[in-house]
Structure 1
Amino acid sequence: MVGYVRNADPPVRLVLEREKPRSTAAATRPEPLPPPTPEAQPVTPPPPPPPPVAAAPPPPAPEPAAPEPVQTARPAPREFAPIPEIRTIHFDFDRADIRASDAAILDQNAQWLKGNEMLVLIEGHADERGTNEYNLALGERRAKAAREYLISRGIAADRLTTVSYGEERPVCLERNENCWKRNRRADLLVKPQ
């Protein structure tokens, strides 16, 4: 049986095999092999000892302490994240074209992005049906379709990045159409420029 581990990054493939039943007849053991004889290895002389290191001079006498400047913690660079103002779009089975209802969502997303200088990561996703390779390609087509639509609505191309996760990041794990249609999507994540 061959399968894949879900949500593994990088993908992990599992191969399961049945163990053959053991015979109930008395098993004969083969004679043990003699221990291996070591092969002659050339002997290399040990490396010469390192040269002696001179002791460091004693530190100078401390000067009167000046007040240290107050340091504030710098926030870590923010990663792309979903926000409520930017909505996900969905796709029909085995399709990457933008549906009318999702075009309206992308129009709203574009309108918000015009007023907010944010970078956008568009993640393409697929349901679990199909091969991993096919679903990665389908997710990429979906992400690119959303990107091209946003560009056509006036969003600068250099603000938009795409990535495909194929079937690797489902939002629903049940094996039915209601779940699969939720996984056929393009998520739009943002971060400040």
Structure 2
Amino acid sequence: MNLSMISKGLLIALPMLALGACSSTTDADAEAAAKLQAEQAAAAAKKAAEDAVQTDTIQAIELTAEEKLVEQYTSAILETTINFEFDKSVISPKYATILDAHAKYLVNNTDKSITVEGHADELGTPEYNIALGERRGLAVSTYLENMGVSASQITVVSYGEEKPVNLGHNESARAENRRAELVY
């Protein structure tokens, strides 16, 4: 009887013990799995946040570079005067940025047109200065056309010495009057 009581007790206790062992292992496994899942979620969230910050930084840098280009373009297109040397109609390389900006604007806005007004200083005959103003206007027109602007968007007019920007009679005043004006 003693043995049978012990056997019965063991029969009842062993399955309970086995169930208890499984139960605690399952809880431990569940806790470990939950902890692992939480760590993975935290790592993923951290990576996503870092990626977002990096993307925002890259976009800010790109925007800044784009803003600089727009600023350069805007300041260049606000310049509408191309000056020339005495008795010359050759465009100085220092005006390339300005003319490139105007060309880009006209190429992107084919509904817009421009008048290039050629001017000269007071030296020389009126006829000569009209011809010189025409050559200066045509030089600017040719430059714009070479940059892709349609000839139909450009009109050239020469005023010779008739519309000085500076009424003085010294070299500084004359230098200001040797020009082509871009008028939209």
User: TM-score range with shorter-chain normalisation?
Assistant: 0.5 to 0.7
Amino acid at match of 1:92: E
Structure-1 separation of matches of 2:96 and 2:128:
25
Structure-2 separation of matches of 1:114 and 1:85:
17
Work out which of the residue numbers 114, 131, 148 in structure 2 matches 1:137.
Answer: 131
TM-score, L = length of structure 1: 0.53
TM-score, L = length of structure 2: 0.56
Deviations 1:41-98 (A, max 9, x none): xxxxxxxxxxxxxxxxxxxxxxxxxxxxxxxxxxxxxxxxxxx635211100000011
Amino acid at match of 2:104: Q
Equivalent position of 2:180 in the other structure = 186
Seq. identity, %: 49
Secondary structure (helix, strand or coil) at the match of 2:113 reads strand
Deviation of 1:108 (Å) = 1.6
Equivalent position of 1:170 in the other structure = 164
4+ runs deviating over 6 angstroms: none
| Between structures 1 and 2, the one with greater helix share | 2
**8 Å CA contact 1:87, 1:188 repeated in 2:** yes
User: RMSD across aligned C-alpha pairs, in angstroms?
Assistant: 1.3
Larger Rg: 2
Deviation of 1:112 (Å) = 2.1
**8 Å CA contact 2:80, 2:183 repeated in 1:** no
Deviation of 1:177 (Å) = 1.3
Aligned residues: 107
- After TM superposition, the structure 1 = structure 2 runs for residues 83-94 of structure 1, keeping only pairs within 5 Å, are 85=78, 87-94=80-87
**8 Å CA contact 1:86, 1:109 repeated in 2:** no
| Between structures 1 and 2, the one with greater strand share | 1
